[in-house]
Amino acid sequence: MARPILTATEMRRLEQHAFEAGTDEYALMERAGAALAEATLRFAGARETLVLVGKGNNGGDGYVAARLLVEAGASVRIAAVGEPTADSAKLAAKDWSRPVEAIDENTAPADLVLDCLFGTGLTRPIDEDIAEPARRLFTAARRVVACDLPSGIESDTGAILTDLGPADLTVTMGALKPAHRLSPAMQACGRVASAAIGLETQSDWFEIAEPDLPALDAQGHKFDRGMVHCLSGAMPGAIALSAHAAARAGAGYVRVSTSRMIDGLPSSVVQTEDAGALDDERIGCLLVGPGMGDIPPLLTVALTKTHPLVLDADALRHVGEPDRLAGHDAILTPHEGEFRALFGDLVGSKADRALLAAQQTQCVIVYKGPDTLVAAPDGRLGFAPPAPAALATAGAGDVLSGIIAAMRARGMEPFEAACAGVWLHGRAAEACDIPFIADDLIAALPDVM
């Protein structure tokens, strides 16, 4: 099941709906605090714990969790920014019958810190009179568990407004937030556990989950399983990686247009000089860009065809105006530099920019990075689950575009094909020993499909 991802505004709206439908405000906080306590106990056991609480509902969750951790046998202290201001948090604070310390230079460290300072309500950087002691306490703790978000992180953008240090576990309430899957915040979250607190979450934004790959037709032949055609350019090694990956990702037939024999391709990948091959109606996806170099006519030729397209790497550099893509059934796979070169400086978070680009081109955008996003023109947005940092290696992008082309040729619609490709690519990386090279990703594909 794909986990939904909600902005802070959407979370508040959801919470409001629940209240209007009769959910008691404090009951919701009780559920959040209970989920936090339970996840903390599972992660770290009942140990010496310091709960840092802010004045809002994130702090409220902390008061509830602190009480339940005491009931579970942990030794717990609370240190607070100040008196709670949110209504439910006031109730939660009342149910805590023990002393509350201040957060300052005298606050004693503990084995486990439960960070309930700020969640989705953070609006600005944290003042140093709180940030400085909090940082010291984070560093001194053996484990840090964050409630909803590590404090200092902006929920919608994934920006770190104030760095307190990373959490080992983040327990997210009701739904994932964009920051859990956007850099640099995602690297500060540690493991992210979802706590169901009884809110009905539905969203066009979600964490990409294991795809349902098209079933193999027992009576089908190779062309039914999808034909990928690749255009080779100045550096054929790159398109060789893509073509090989497409074949391993289950395309029934993979062919490369090339004027000279490409070394290292499996014999099953057909190499052709015949320009007419491009008009073959059986082509399920045409891939151009990896290793294309400065040969813009390759892109021009691709854009004269009506086959579904995957445009990657150098092809993206040569598009020029995004309007040129209008009417094409295309998936674009830019990394940050290619994205900026093509779309300029769009405003907003990475999520906003990805969606703007998809709307502008009416194409699916795979906006690559440590926090890869897949955006569709209709507003769907897939966030990649974390993948090994070792994926930033030569040729990994060529492998990704080959896998996506295979998914498209196998009949998946563009957004689904792109999400499936991103998921398989990440899992293939997890299946490899580190350090790995792009070729190893291809070899690992059968293990994750």
- Strands 381-383 vs 373-375: parallel, antiparallel or unpaired: antiparallel
Q: How far is the CB of 116 from K ion (least distance, A)?
A: 5
DSSP letter for 153, please.
Answer: B
Give the DSSP letter of residue 326: T
Does residue 121 interact with ligand NPW by CB under 6 A? Answer: yes
Residue 135 C-beta: closest distance to ligand NPW, Å: 14
Q: Which two tokens stand for residue 48?
A: 């010496």
Among 44, 68, 80, 86, binds ligand NPW (CB under 6 A): 86
Site string for K ion, 116-155 (x = CB under 5 A): ------------------------------xx---x----
Q: Are 408 and 415 in contact (CB under 8 A)?
A: no
Phi, psi for residue 66 in degrees, rounded to 5: -60, -45
The binder of 304, among ligand NPW, K ion, none, by C-beta within 5 to 8 A per type, is none
Q: Does 248 bind ligand NPW (CB under 6 A)?
A: no
| Sign of the torsion angle spanned by Cα atoms 36, 41, 46, 48 | negative
Residue from 4, 133, 150, 174 in contact with ligand NPW (CB under 6 A)? 174
- State yes or no: residue 28 binds ligand NPW (CB under 6 A): yes
**If we measure between CA atoms, which residue out of 202, 193, 151 comes closest to residue 169?**
193
Residue 172 in contact with K ion, rule: CB under 5 A: no
Sequence-distant (6+) residues with CB within 8 A of 20 are: none
Collapsing DSSP states into helix, strand and coil, what is residue 13?
helix
115 interacts with, out of ligand NPW, K ion, none, CB within 5 to 8 A per kind: K ion
> Amino acid identity, residue 272?
T
Answer for which of 10, 30, 115, 148 binds ligand NPW (CB under 6 A) is 148
- Smallest gap from Cβ 142 to ligand NPW, in A, equals 23
Crossing angle of helices 438-448/396-409, nearest 10°? 40
58 in a known ligand binding site:
yes
- When the beta carbons of 53 and 231 are compared against K ion, the nearer one is 53
Residue of the chain from 173, 285, 287, 404 that contacts ligand NPW (CB under 6 A): 173
C-alpha distance from residue 418 to each of 238, 301, 421 (Å):
19, 23, 5
Q: Which residues contact 393 (CB under 8 A, 6 or more apart)?
A: 435, 436, 437, 438
> How many residues sit close enough to ligand NPW to count as binding (CB under 6 A)?
32
Structure tokens at 403: 């896998």
Shortest distance in whole angstroms from residue 209 CB to ligand NPW: 23
Region 90-119 residues binding K ion, contact defined as CB under 5 A: 115
Is 148 annotated to bind a ligand? Reply is yes
Q: How far is CA 96 from CA 61, 100, 329, in A?
A: 12, 9, 59
Q: Are 352 and 364 in contact, with CB atoms under 8 Å apart?
A: no
Q: Which of 7, 49, 57, 349: binder of ligand NPW (CB under 6 A)?
A: 57
Q: How far is the CB of 290 from ligand NPW (least distance, A)?
A: 42
Residue 29 sits in the site that holds ligand NPW (CB under 6 A): yes
Identify residues 6-65 at the interface with K ion (CB under 5 A): none
| CB nearer to ligand NPW: pick between 200 and 336 | 200
Instruction: State the minimum distance, in angstroms, from the CB of residue 100 to ligand NPW.
Output: 16
SS (H, E, C) 273-307: CCHHHHHCCCCCEEEECCCCCCCCHHHHHHHHCCC
Give the footprint of ligand NPW on this chain (CB under 6 A). 11-12, 14-15, 28-29, 32, 54-59, 61, 85-86, 118-127, 147-148, 173-174, 197, 199
Enumerate the known binding-site residues for K(+): 58, 115, 151
Enumerate the known binding-site residues: 57-61, 115, 119-125, 148, 151, 238, 291, 335, 368-372, 397-398
